[in-house]
């Protein structure tokens, strides 16, 4: 089963940009492990894995603009 990792609502911020993709396809992750970093108004937010598993797909790239609710990654739960 695939778990969707979506960008959460970060408050009333302007543009949100992906600054680092920390995990790629095939990488094993644990719950709460950092997956990506995004920046909004000069603040960096870490997006964590909702549960453990293996990264299936990364749907964003560094420098890409994203919005709350956007699908960022798929993780196959084990």
- Residues 73 and 5: their CA atoms lie apart, in Å, by 5
Residue numbers of the chain with a pLDDT score lower than 70: none
* Helices marked H in the chain: none
60: containing domain: 2-76
pLDDT value of position 61:
97
pTM of the model: 0.91
- Residues 72 and 74: their CA atoms lie apart, in Å, by 7
Domain count, the chain: 1
52: domain CATH number is 2.40.50.100
- Residues 71 and 56: their CA atoms lie apart, in Å, by 13
């Amino acid at each position: 089963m695939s778990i969707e990792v979506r960008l959460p609502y970060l408050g009333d911020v302007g543009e949100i940009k992906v600054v680092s993709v920390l995990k790629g396809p095939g990488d094993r992750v644990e719950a709460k492990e950092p997956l990506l970093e995004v920046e909004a108004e000069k603040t960096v937010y870490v997006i964590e894995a909702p549960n453990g598993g293996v990264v299936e797909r990364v749907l964003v790239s560094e420098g890409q603009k994203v919005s709350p609710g956007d699908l960022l990654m798929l993780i196959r739960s084990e």
